[in-house]
Structures are given as structure tokens and as C-alpha cells.
Structure 1
Amino acid sequence: MVSIIESFLDEHLRCNQIFATAESLLRRGSPIAASHFLAFRDTLEAHCAHEEQVVFPAFETLIGSPDGPTAVLRDEHARMLSLCSEILRAIEHAQADKACGLADSLFLLLQSHMIREERLLYPLCDDALGHATYERPHALPALGTGLA
């Protein structure tokens, strides 16, 4: 069992690692780029659901409203997942330049999003919950498994 912040920082690291591999494969024109972007999307989707089930409710309780920063972060989750789908469609239609441009946009959004969570949201939630230890729910898949 780890603190909430440690658990979610670990998930961010794994998301970044999977994205970096997928993006590298895409830029090299590898035929397995799509499968790695699909794995990234699935990992990101599980991570976003995990945050929305654990971190966001804790923060909303702390500030007394669901209409604050978590509303913006939820919107960014949806935008990131949408960009993943657009990248996969571009790869499917052999539009490498478009896929790379979308990957650049996703990277920028992903990094700015994670910085806000790591520097503001997670520490406040850890403090609000008394640095409680945390175990990832069994219903969520282990992130980043099954990639070569």
C-alpha cells in the first residue's frame, strides 16, 4: 500500500513511458505503432477513470464543489482520449503526418495536465485524506501490462 500521491505519480510515469514508446514507433513508421497507441489509450482511460473515482471526489469534498478545477481536468481527460482516437484513425488511414501532429498536441496537453495534478491536486488530496495509504481497486486493470 502506498500514499495516493505515490500511486498516481506511478501511473503518470507509466502513461508517459507507454506514450513515448508509441510516439517513437509512430515517427519511425513502425507497423506496430497503432497497437502501442491503443495500449496507451487503454492505459490512459483506466488512469482517468481511477482519478475520477478517487482523487477528484476527495478534492471536490475538500473545496465543497464539483465545479472547480476537477471539471476542467475531466474535460481534459475527454480531450486526451479523443485525441488518442483521432491518432488511431489517422494511423489506420495511413495519414502519418496527421497522426504525428495529433501526437504532438496530445503530448502538450498530457504534460500540462499532469503537472497541474502533480503540483496541486495530488498534494492537496493527500493532505485532506491525512496521507492515508491506498490500494488500487481490483476492478481497474494493471496499467501498462502486455507491451513489448
Structure 2
Amino acid sequence: MTIKEYMTQNHKECDELLAQVESEVANKNWDKAIELNDLFKNETLKHFDMEESYLFPMFEERASTGGCGPTQVMRMEHDQARTVFPKLEESLKEKDSDRYFGLTESLMILIQQHNLKEEQMLYTMIQNLFNDENETIIEALKNYEFN
């Protein structure tokens, strides 16, 4: 497995969690929806943190970007996504499925566009720069701890 494949698979896992939450909301299983939403939020924030604290700094150093360029845009989009999580939690606590689905629709548009940029451009660049260290980086990503 490559770095690009690992991170792309992680995107898919987060997307699948959101689909599970949406299913529970549609069925008005609010407690299960809240539980799965917490898992979705934590896994998504872990993914963001793996990139921001581990992959992006390595890339910026090796590519000499100085924190500008594609990683700067990705961080900004992560911040945009982070603002939605409290609103999702609030809509679930209020059992407001209309608001929840409106928020997830907006979030999914942002995330899908974001993921496409990462998968097609940034992960390819990272893979090319670190191909000789692929196994070590994958192992670090698999063991990444997020609090």
C-alpha cells in the first residue's frame, strides 16, 4: 500500500461513517446517530491532524514550500470543515433532521472537493517525494495517536 492509497482509504472510511450517521438520522435513531457522529467527528479530526501535524510539515520541508501552496489551502479547508461539527452536534441534540441534512450536504460538498484535490494532486506529490520512505510513513500513519 502506498501513502496515497492509505490516505485515500482513510477518506473513504470517514465518508462511510457519515453515511451511517445519516442513515440513523433518517430512521430517527437519535442516540445511535449521536454516537456515530462522535466517531465520524473524531476520525475526521484525526485525519486532519495526521496531515497537519505529520504529512504536511514533512512535505513542506522537503518541497521547500514554507507552509504556502497546497498545504495552506488544505489547512484552510480543514478549518472550514471544523466549524460544522458543533452545528451537527447541536442539530442532533435538537433532533432536527432537516438542519442536520442541510449541514451534511454542505459539509460533503466541501469535503468531496477537498478530498479530490488531495487525492489527485497533494498525495501524488507527497508520494513522489517520499516513495523511498513509503513503508516507514505508512507504519507511522497506522500508529498515529490523536487526542
Task: Tell me the TM-score range normalised by the shorter chain.
Answer: 0.7 to 0.9
Structure 1: unaligned runs, 5 residues or longer: 142-148
Distance 1:23 1:59 in 2: 35
Please tell me whether the aligned partners of residues 8 and 119 of structure 2 are also in contact (alpha carbons under 8 angstroms).
yes
The 1-side partners of 2:100 and 2:20 are apart by: 15
Distance in 1 separating the partners of 2:66 and 2:38: 34
- What is the Cα-based RMSD across aligned positions, in Å? 1.7
Q: Is the CA contact 1:22–1:36 (under 8 Å) kept in the aligned structure 2?
A: yes
In the other structure, the counterpart of 1:70 is 71
Shift of 1:137: 5.6
Q: Distance in 2 between matches of 1:110 and 1:86?
A: 16
Matching of residue 20 in structure 1 with residue 25 in structure 2? no
Q: Does 1:123 align with 2:124?
A: yes
Unaligned runs of 5+ in 2: none
Give the superposition deviation at 1:58: 3.1
Query: Residue 48 in 1 paired to residue 48 in 2?
Result: yes
Q: Larger relative contact order (C-alpha < 8 A, sep ≥ 6)?
A: 1
Maintained 8 Å contact 1:27/1:100 = no
Alignment check: 8 A CA contact 1:5 1:123 kept: yes
Once the two structures are superposed, the pairs formed by residues 1-148 of structure 1 within 5 Å of their partners are 2-31=1-30, 32-61=32-61, 62-131=63-132, 132-133=134-135, 134-135=138-139, 136=141, 138-140=143-145
Q: Following TM superposition, by how much is the alpha carbon of 1:56 offset from its aligned partner in structure 2, in angstroms?
A: 1.2
